[in-house]
Amino acid sequence: MTTTFREIAVGRLPVIAIVGRPNVGKSTLFNRIVGKRTAIVGDRPGVTVDRLETECLIGEQQVVLVDTGGIGEGTHDVMQPAIDAQVEAALAIADIVLFVTDAQAGCTPVDEAIANKLRRHQIPVFLVVNKAEKPNLELDFYGLGMGDPISISASHGNGVKEFIAELGGKLPAVRESEEHDSPIASIAVIGRPNVGKSTLINAWLGRDRMVVSNIAGTTRDAIDSELAYGDGYIRLVDTAGQRKHGRIADIIEFVARVKAVQAFKRADTAVMVLDGSEGVVEQDMRLMQLAFDEGCALIIAVNKLDLISEEEWKHYVERLDFRMRGFPEIPTFRITAKTGKGVKQLLGKAVYSAKLNRFELGTGALNRWLSETQEAQHPPSDNGAAVKLKYASQIASSPPSIKIFCNRPKGLKTSYRKYLEQSFRKTFKLVGVPIRFSFSASSNPYAPEKKR
357 is known to lie in a ligand binding site: no
432 is known to lie in a ligand binding site: no
Handedness of CA 207, 72, 252, 35 (dihedral sign): negative
303 is known to lie in a ligand binding site: yes
22 is known to lie in a ligand binding site: yes
191 is known to lie in a ligand binding site: yes
Rounded to a whole number of angstroms, the distance between the first and last alpha carbons of the chain is: 75
Backbone angles phi, psi at 230, to 5 degrees: 60, -130
Name every residue whose Cβ is closer than 8 Å to that of residue 54 and which is 6 or more positions away in sequence: 34, 38, 64, 65, 224
Kindly report the CA angle at 301 between 295 and 302, in degrees rounded to 5?
A: 140
31 is known to lie in a ligand binding site: no
57 is known to lie in a ligand binding site: no
198 is known to lie in a ligand binding site: yes
306 is known to lie in a ligand binding site: yes
207 is known to lie in a ligand binding site: no
305 is known to lie in a ligand binding site: yes
64 is known to lie in a ligand binding site: no
Number of neighbours of residue 159 by Cβ within 10 angstroms: 18
69 is known to lie in a ligand binding site: yes
238 is known to lie in a ligand binding site: yes
23 is known to lie in a ligand binding site: yes
68 is known to lie in a ligand binding site: yes
444 is known to lie in a ligand binding site: no
116 is known to lie in a ligand binding site: no
10 is known to lie in a ligand binding site: no
How far is residue 445's CA from residue 406's CA, in Å, rounded to a whole number? 12
Number of neighbours of residue 106 by Cβ within 10 angstroms: 13
225 is known to lie in a ligand binding site: no
59 is known to lie in a ligand binding site: no
63 is known to lie in a ligand binding site: no
153 is known to lie in a ligand binding site: no
84 is known to lie in a ligand binding site: no
What residues are designated binding site for GTP? Answer: 20-27, 67-71, 130-133, 191-198, 238-242, 303-306
What residues are designated binding site? Answer: 20-27, 67-71, 130-133, 191-198, 238-242, 303-306
